[in-house]
Amino acid sequence: MKCLTFVLLSLTALQAQSGPGRVSFEVASIRPAAPGPNGVRSGCHGVDSRYGPNESAPPLGRCVITDGRLSHLISIAWQLNAMSMIRNAPDWVIGGDERFNVQAKAEDPKATETQLLGMLQKLLEDRFLLKYHREAHEEQGYALVVAKNGPKLTKSGDDAVTSLGPFNKGDPTRTIAARKYSMAMLASLLSTFGPGNVKDETGLPDFYDFHLTWNEAEGPSALTAIQQLGLRLEPRKIPVSYFVIDSARRPGDN
C-alpha cells in the first residue's frame, strides 16, 4: 500500500471545486479504528494509479485508509507536502489517539486517482463538517535538484513495492531505506524530517531504490548526505500553501 509520506504531488491539480456538482462516492464509511500502535496506511486505486504486481492495492475505483488521524486523511486527500502544512488543527485532529478507517467506492470503477482524491475531499468535508481555507506564502526552503555529475540512483524494477524503513523519528540519526520512491516522494519526506520545505525540481520522472542516512547534530547533515544520491538541496524561496482548519467535528458528533 502507499504510505502517507509518499504522497507529494501537485496541490493545484488535486483540489476539488466547491459548490454543487461535485461527485461523491457511491458508498463510503468512516469508522473509528481499533486502538493500538498501528501506522496509517492508504491507497486510492484509480485507473491511472501505479501499483507493482506484488503490491497490495485496493480494488479498482476505491479508496481504503486504515488507522489515520483526520490530519492524515487531509494530507492524503489534498496531497499536502508535509503535515506541517496543516495549521490551526485541534489536538484530536493533529496528534491525538483518535484514528479512523475509511472505505469508499466510486460509482465509476474507471475513475482516475485525481477524481478519487476529489471525492475523498468531499467525503471529509461532509462527514467531519470540515471547514478550511488556503493561505499561500513564499518562504525560504530548498529545491531538490540534480547535482553536476548526474544522479546516482537505482531505478526500481517493474515488480517493486513501495516501502520505507527503518526510520526512527526519535533518533537523531535518520536512515531512509526506500524502494520505489519518486523524487516528489523524497521531497515530501525531506520537507517533513529534513532541513525545511523542499520542492522537487529534479525533472526525474521514474521510481527509485535508495539508502540515505544523516544526523544534523553529528553529521553528515541532510544537505551533505543527499549528495550521495547525486542530488543537491539548493536554498531558494519556494511557494508554500498552508491548509488552515477553520472548524472540524468528529463523525460521531454529526
pLDDT digits (tens, 9 = 90+) for 128-139: 999 999 999 898
Nearest by Cα to 166 from 213, 230, 208: 213
Q: What is the pLDDT of residues 3-31, one digit of tens each?
A: 333 332 332 233 333 444 578 999 999 99
pTM of the predicted structure, to 2 decimals: 0.69
DSSP-derived 3-state class of residue 154: strand
Give the Cα separation of 169 and 193 in Å (integer): 8
Domain ranges of the chain: 11-133+243-253, 137-240
Q: What is the pLDDT of residues 132-187, one digit of tens each?
A: 999 998 989 999 999 999 999 999 887 665 656 555 555 678 788 888 888 988 88
- Residue 40 binned pLDDT confidence (cut-offs 50, 70, 90): confident
Q: Is the dihedral of CA 48, 51, 52, 54 positive or negative?
A: negative
DSSP-derived 3-state class of residue 114: helix
Q: What is the pLDDT of residues 200-240, one digit of tens each?
A: 999 999 999 988 888 878 888 889 999 999 999 999 998 88
Q: Who wins on pLDDT, 240 or 64?
A: 64
- Say how many C-beta atoms besides its own lie within 10 A of residue 193's C-beta: 15
What count of residues does the chain have?
254
Nearest by Cα to 47 from 112, 125, 93: 112
